[in-house]
Amino acid sequence: MKEDDSRLMWFGALLAAAYLVFGTLEVLGGIGYDGERLGDLYVQGGIMDGLVLLVIGAVFAFGWKERDDPSVFPLMGISLGTIFLVIYLVLMGANLLSLLMFGSEHVDGWTIADGMRPGIYLGVISALGGVVWRKRLSLTMLSRAGA
């Protein structure tokens, strides 16, 4: 295995663990577990949010199982983590826009902290990985649609 592949694999392993742990916490929160410190970690307790994290974690983790092309799983994990980071940021942006346009009552007293969730800070780490391994992601090598 190349040195770069090895670093990518370890990065993937760390993120796999983080996504799987936070995914489990989100699901537990969603089914009623009320851990004392979950709020500090911005765990909102959403089953679907949790499943999203678990699937992304599984993609990172499979890199260790499918060793013949080890880099592709962490790279796809990075891509998925970044896609969900963008989704969560857009959702936050929409709430923020509503807050600015119509006031806090309209959004049931929503604050930016309410919009924070593990998918965002884990997504930021994924996106940073995307910056480090941007050449490996190869998305720019894809041709334009409708060619």
Partner 1 sequence: MQDVSKNVRVALCGNPNVGKSSLFNALTDSRQHVGNWPGVTVERKSGYRVYRGHRIEIVDLPGTYSLIASSKDEEVATKYIIEESPDVVLQVVDSSNLERNLYLTMQLMEFGKPMVLAMNMSDITEDRGDSLDLDVLKRFLGAPAVRTVASEGIGLEELLDAIVGVAKRIPVDRRVGYGELEATISDLRDMVERDAEISSRYPSRWMATRLIENDSYVKGLLADRPIWKDLEAYLSNIDREEGEMDLADSRYTVIDEVVALSCKRCKPKRSVSDSMDRVLVHRYLGIPIFLILLWGAFELTFSAAAPFMDLIDAGFAELGDWVAGNVRPEWLASLLADGVIGGVGSVLIFLPNIVIMFMILGILEDSGYMARVAFLMDRLMSRVGLQGKSAIPLIMGFGCNLPAIMATRSIEDRKDRLITIMVTPFMSCSARLPVYILFAGAFFSHMAGTIVFMMYMIGIAAAIFTAMALRAFVFKGEPSAFIMELPPYRLPTTRSVGVHTWDRAFLYVKKAGTIILLGVVAIWALASLPFGVEYGSEASWIGAIGKVIEPLVEPLGFDWRIAVALLFGFVAKEIIVGGLMTLYGAGQNENALTDALKADGSLNQVNAFGLMTFSLLYMPCVATAGIIWGETRSWKWTMFSIVYGIVLAYAIALLIWQVGGPLFG
Can you give the binding site for partner 1, defined by CB under 8 A?
A: 46-48, 51-52, 55-56, 58-59, 62, 66, 69, 72-73, 76, 80, 83-84, 87, 90-91, 93-95, 97-98, 101-102, 106, 108, 138-147
Q: Long-range contact list for 60-69, CB < 8 A, 24+ apart?
A: 60/12, 60/13, 60/15, 60/16, 60/19, 61/12, 61/13, 61/16, 61/20, 63/9, 63/12, 63/13, 63/16, 64/9, 64/12, 64/13, 64/16
| Least Cβ distance, residue 66 to partner 1 (angstroms) | 7
Closest to partner 1 by CB, 32 or 146: 146
| Least Cβ distance, residue 73 to partner 1 (angstroms) | 6
Residue 116 DSSP label? -
Closest to partner 1 by CB, 6 or 138: 138
